[in-house]
Each structure stands twice: as structure tokens, then as C-alpha cells.
Amino acid sequence: MPPILRHLNHQPYADTWQAMQAFTQQRSTDTPDELWTVEHPPVYTLGLSGKREHLLNIGDIPVVHSDRGGQVTYHGPGQVVIYTLIDIKRLPINIRELVTLLENAMIAALADYGISAQARADAPGVYVQGKKIGSIGLRIKNHCSYHGLSLNNAMDLRPFTLINPCGYAGLAMTQLADLGVHVATAEAAALIIDKITPALQP
């Protein structure tokens, strides 16, 4: 069964996070997987291993301590965010394979736009000419994932300069708009979902 798609439009990060937790807690072995697309107002999120020392000069942008994996990142308007609520035991895949699946989906979508991108073994995510364009942060509970991926489309990248993105000092970020690709965020999200969905068929 293909995953159910939910387009949440613009939603606060904390509200969406709580909804993911509730969905994951209540789901059964028969619950269909879901993919949620959303854009968030400006927010920094600290993962389970996140350290506040990576927040450098963040001003009045709020910080949320999240239960996803990874360090600190930024979400804001103009960024593709896809949350992957997947029963990985049913597929079956492990966490590393799910990360690779999401990386490959972003890389394939970028290739459709004529952009050559790569994953890095030492730092999960997707990179174009050494700059990060896509990030992944997941939480697994009872063999089910939530949280997911983000891809920078057409956003204000300056807030990334006020942190050590993903815990890496000086990590440069990029986005589709800076690479000459100008598309609606919903269109970019739909393309990535098209790359994810075939891999979610048990």
C-alpha cells in the first residue's frame, strides 16, 4: 500500500512534532505509512545530541529541543520539509538504509533539475559542491520512524550562519534558488515524494 500523503501547508514546528509523536504512539501494525509535507515559521531545532554551544548568535528565532537524531538545524519558509512516518520493520529496512533512501530521493530529485549532488558517509545529508542542501534527522520508536528530511529551496539562508549547522563550524549551505532552479516549494516536495514512494512498497 502506498503511503498516505498529507499536505500540512504552514504549521508551527512544535505542533507538527507533537502530531507526529501522537501518530506514532497510536499506530498499529496495520496503520498505513504517511508522508507529511510542511513549511515551518523560522525555528532552530536541537536534536537529541544537540549542544547549545552550536547556537552562536541566534537573536529572537526560537529554539526547540526535539527528539530527532542529530545536532542543530534551522527550518524556515521556502524550505521543503517531508516527515516520514514509516514502519521500517514492515519494509523491512534498518535506520541506516532509511537514511540512504531519503538521501537518494533528494539526490534523484536534484538530478531531475540538472544538479549533481552527493551524500557523505561522515555527515548524513546531501551536498552540492561541498555545500549542504539537504538534511536528515529521524527518530525511531517501536520500529517506526518520524521526523524526516529538509531540502533548501528558496529561503533566507542567513539564519544558518548564526549556528554551526549539524554541529559543523563553518559548514556552508546552498539552495535550489542559488543554483538557478526556481520552483514552488510544493513542486519540489512532490518531486522528492515521487522518488521516495516506490521504495516504500514492501
Concatenating the DSSP letter of every residue in 115-126 gives: ---EE-TTS-SE
Q: What is the mean pLDDT of the chain?
A: 96
**Sheet strand arrangement including 4-10:** 4-10, 34-39, 79-87, 144-152, 131-141, 126-128, 118-119
Q: What is the mean pLDDT of residues 93-110?
A: 96
Nearest to 76 by CA among 180, 196, 181, 162: 162
DSSP letter for each residue of 84-107: EEEETTTTT--HHHHHHHHHHHHH
11-15, 57-61, 151-155, 189-193 — which is least confidently predicted?
Answer: 57-61
Q: Which tens digits make up the pLDDT trace of 12-32?
A: 999 999 999 999 999 999 999
pLDDT band at 202 (very low <50, low <70, confident <90, very high): low
Name the catalytic one among 82, 119, 166, 189: 166
Q: Bridge-partner residues for 182, per DSSP?
A: none
Q: Which residues are annotated as a binding site for substrate?
A: 68-75, 135-137, 148-150
Find out whether 93 and 101 touch, Cβ atoms under 8 Å: yes
- Which pLDDT belongs to residue 123? 87
The residue extents of the domains of the chain are 4-200
Task: Check residue 33 and report its DSSP letter.
Answer: P
pLDDT at 121 over 90: no
Is the pLDDT at 72 greater than 80? The verdict is yes
Does 175 score more than 70 pLDDT?
Answer: yes
Q: Is the pTM of this model over 0.95?
A: yes
- Determine the length of the chain: 202
Concerning whether 144 is annotated as a catalytic residue, the answer is no
Q: Could you give the CA distance from residue 85 to residue 37 in angstroms, rounded to a whole number?
A: 11
CATH superfamily, domain 4-200, is: Bira Bifunctional Protein; Domain 2 (3.30.930.10)
Q: Give me 56's grid cell.
A: 552562536
pLDDT tens digits, 29-66: 999 999 999 999 999 999 998 999 999 988 999 999 99
DSSP 165: G
Q: What integer pLDDT is reported at residue 54 of this predicted model?
A: 94
The secondary element (H helix, E strand) that includes residue 109 is helix 95-112
* Alpha carbons 52 and 61: distance in angstroms, whole number: 14
